[in-house]
Amino acid sequence: MQLYSYWRSSASYRVRIALALKGLSYQTIGIHLVKGKHTEASFVAINPQARVPALKLDSGDVLIQSLAIIDYLDETYPEPPFLPADPLLRARVRAVSQVVAMDIHPLGNTGPRNYMLKTLNLDLETVDGWTRHWIENGFAAVERMISPGPYCFGAQPTLADIFLVPQVFNARRYKADMAKFPKIVAVDEACQKHPAFAAAAPAAQPDAE
């Protein structure tokens, strides 16, 4: 498999965690977002959305969107499972994942930030403040939703941890006040000790700068 990734992309980070948890090997192909490599025709031919991640399977098929990729991996390689067996707990795990993927991440992603910086001509401090606001707003909900044990929902990492840890990386990057979220910090600390999360960390990637 080949993973088209950018070391600092939180969506790519999610997929790297999922691949590592499943024990799957892959080749990393770095797509430098800051240099605009994602907009080049050669990559748009792979992912028409011109975003990372994209996962090229050994069959030649290409999957895009981190949640779709992670769902595919969980359905194709069922051990260890990313979702608990209990339907109610599964819904709670999905809810945390979706707060991150749908409410926090899109508002601070590269596209909206570039539009605010380059089209609306807002200064970087204002844009970073916008990003930080929506991270802290979402984390306030997540803090009430999780039950560390030591991971978001017990003794094993789930989809919630896969989505939360990369967003914590972003939160620290934009100087969010993590002191307000002790449960999230505790989960992140537990995950950082897990070999799969350590292998997927941005600084451990071959394209890291």
What is residue 206's predicted lDDT score, i.e. its pLDDT?
96
- C-alpha–C-alpha distance, residues 77 and 95, integer Å: 22
82-98 per-position pLDDT tens digit: 999 999 999 999 999 99
Q: What is the pLDDT of residue 194?
A: 98
Query: What confidence tens digit (pLDDT) does each residue in 2-50 have?
Result: 999 999 999 999 999 999 999 999 999 999 999 999 999 999 999 999 9
CB 159 within 8 A of CB 70: yes
Q: How far is 172 from 169, CA to CA, in rounded Å?
A: 5
- pLDDT 10s digits, 41-84: 999 999 999 999 999 999 999 999 999 999 999 999 999 999 99
pLDDT digits (tens, 9 = 90+) for 107-135: 999 889 999 999 999 999 999 999 999 99
In this predicted structure, what is the pLDDT of residue 147?
Answer: 94
Question: pTM for this structure?
Answer: 0.96
- Mean predicted lDDT score pLDDT of the chain: 97
pLDDT at residue 146, rounded to an integer:
98
What are the pLDDT digits (tens) for 131-182? 999 999 999 999 999 999 999 999 999 999 999 999 999 999 999 999 999 9
User: How would you label 7-26 residue by residue, b for 16+ Cβ within 10 Å and e otherwise?
Assistant: bbbbbbbbbbbbbbbbeeeb
- Domains of the chain by range and CATH? 2-80 (3.40.30.10), 87-197 (1.20.1050.10)
Could you give the CA distance from residue 201 to residue 102 in angstroms, rounded to a whole number?
22
Cβ(124)–Cβ(117) below 8 Å? yes
Q: How far apart are alpha carbons 11 and 162 in whole angstroms?
A: 10
Q: How far is CA 100 from CA 104, 135, 138, 163, 208, in A?
A: 5, 9, 7, 7, 23
Helix (H, G, I), strand (E, B), or coil: what is residue 82? coil
Look at residue 188 in the predicted model and tell me its pLDDT: 98
